[in-house]
Amino acid sequence: TLRIGRRATLLPAAGARAYGMLYTVTHAELERLYTAPGLEQYRPEAVLAQPLEGAAIPALCYNLREAPQPHERNPDYAARLQRALGKLGFPLEYVASVS
């Protein structure tokens, strides 16, 4: 489940689904990216990503060490994310669920 507070993260939830994009990058590139100011709060988690077509593949998903509190909101970020997801052709029900 996607939770958006001051920052966004995924939270585990039985039966939940989150959409995203898969990229091929090196460990060195990931380290450079996630040591940038403001991103050091994220940590890698091993996941099995299920592409829309094909078999599941191992991937790293970067999530916050501590999830945003349930009352935290960032409507500006959520609106920008909805616009980007819509332009990229993500499923409409997923785009609408982002808040």
Each residue's pLDDT tens digit, 39-51: 989 999 999 999 9
pLDDT in tens, the chain (99 residues): 899 998 899 998 898 888 999 999 999 999 899 998 989 899 999 999 999 899 999 999 999 999 999 899 999 999 999 999 999 999 999 999 999
Rounded to 5°, angle at Cα 36 from 34 and 38: 95
**Would you give the DSSP letter of residue 57?**
E
- 53 contacts: CB under 8 Å, gap ≥ 6: none
> How far apart are alpha carbons 29 and 87 in whole angstroms?
26
Q: Of all residues in the chain, what percent carry a pLDDT higher than 70? A: 100
